[in-house]
């Protein structure tokens, strides 16, 4: 799925210190972030604090943000970091205010491979390889949905996200084991084709389809098969056909994608009744972070 053009435009404006654009970024993402946070934290106030911190984290780490990547993926990565840090501290009995949380806002997965400002010898190459893999996997997912090969998509997610074995996948889908092996073989061939022209192309092998592979990690971190918000909206309206419904249901519920789940929750609650807290949260996130805008610019 291509990077959202509206996001790219907004972030560019934010980098110039545009307050209106910043307010729009908050408005666009606060609902799905709060839905995500509420799945992990019992108190609404805790979830709101963490979301506020997440927006602040985005501004602080903006120099590390790569505009060719998805803003939603980036925000969810910051939010995940903050929640796990918060829960870890709470388990240790450390009560402290949220502003004592990690000041390093850039998600680690980002630094590992793709942060332009963290280039060291060899890193550039690694980033290019990862970028090529992500592009290949996304392209493949797009082809699957266009050509309605939803079953292939489900099989791959069962392997790399749920960590199931061939036998379990077969039992779950009512297929034979050789049929599952055949799908894996075919998919690896398709991935080979998609990366053939890339320099230093990845050598695809069956191990790439295991839960602990680099490919599987990238798949999960990047939300490679996550659905567009507009598609999820159509799903809720009942405007999609049976194959689509089945796939989205699998991805969000059976494969338990927390990000798509959060988007669905947020879309479900997007009615008048909720308008008030949305305004309040947006104002709060804005007020707590707008001071950073001028600093970003420098």
User: Where along the sequence are the contacts to Zn ion (CB under 5 A)?
Assistant: 226, 257, 259-260
CB nearer to Zn ion: give 38 or 261: 261
Closest contact distance (angstroms) between CB of 220 and Zn ion is: 10
Distance CA 175, CA 184 (A): 13
CB nearer to Zn ion: give 141 or 260: 260
Closest contact distance (angstroms) between CB of 49 and Zn ion is: 25
Closest contact distance (angstroms) between CB of 257 and Zn ion is: 3
CB nearer to Zn ion: give 209 or 260: 260
CB nearer to Zn ion: give 65 or 76: 76
Closest contact distance (angstroms) between CB of 225 and Zn ion is: 7
What token pair was written down for 193?
């084709």
Closest contact distance (angstroms) between CB of 223 and Zn ion is: 5
Closest contact distance (angstroms) between CB of 255 and Zn ion is: 8
Closest contact distance (angstroms) between CB of 38 and Zn ion is: 17
Cβ within 8 Å of residue 31, ≥6 positions away: 266, 269, 270, 278
CB nearer to Zn ion: give 14 or 248: 248
CB nearer to Zn ion: give 162 or 179: 162
CB nearer to Zn ion: give 80 or 259: 259
Distance CA 131, CA 133 (A): 5
Distance CA 105, CA 57 (A): 5
Closest contact distance (angstroms) between CB of 142 and Zn ion is: 15
How far is CA 150 from its chain centroid? 20
CB nearer to Zn ion: give 86 or 247: 247
């Amino acid at each position: 799925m291509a990077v959202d053009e509206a996001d790219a435009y907004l972030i560019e404006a934010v980098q110039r210190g545009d307050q209106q654009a910043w307010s729009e970024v908050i408005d666009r993402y606060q609902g799905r972030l709060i839905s995500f946070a509420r799945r992990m934290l019992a108190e609404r106030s805790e979830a709101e604090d963490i979301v506020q911190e997440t927006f602040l984290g985005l501004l602080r780490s903006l120099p590390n943000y790569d505009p060719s990547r998805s803003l939603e993926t980036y925000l969810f990565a910051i939010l995940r970091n903050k929640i796990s840090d918060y829960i870890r501290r709470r388990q240790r009995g450390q009560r402290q205010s949220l502003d004592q949380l990690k000041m390093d806002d850039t998600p680690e997965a980002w630094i590992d491979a793709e942060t332009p400002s963290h280039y060291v010898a060899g890193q550039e190459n690694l980033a290019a390889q990862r970028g090529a893999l992500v592009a290949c996997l996304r392209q493949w997912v797009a082809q699957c949905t266009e050509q309605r090969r939803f079953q292939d998509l489900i099989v791959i997610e069962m392997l790399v996200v749920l960590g199931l074995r061939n036998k379990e996948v077969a039992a779950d889908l009512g297929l034979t084991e050789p049929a599952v092996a055949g799908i894996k073989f075919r998919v690896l061939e398709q991935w080979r084709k998609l990366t053939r022209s890339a320099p230093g192309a990845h050598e695809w092998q069956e191990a790439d389809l295991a839960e602990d592979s680099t490919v599987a990690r990238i798949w999960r971190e990047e939300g490679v098969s996550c659905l567009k918000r507009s598609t999820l909206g159509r799903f809720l309206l009942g405007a999609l056909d049976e194959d689509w419904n089945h796939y989205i249901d699998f991805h969000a519920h059976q494969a338990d994608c927390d990000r798509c789940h959060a988007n669905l929750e947020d879309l479900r609650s997007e009615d008048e009744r909720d308008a008030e807290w949305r305004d309040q949260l947006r104002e709060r996130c804005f007020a707590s972070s707008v001071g950073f805008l001028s600093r970003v610019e420098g």
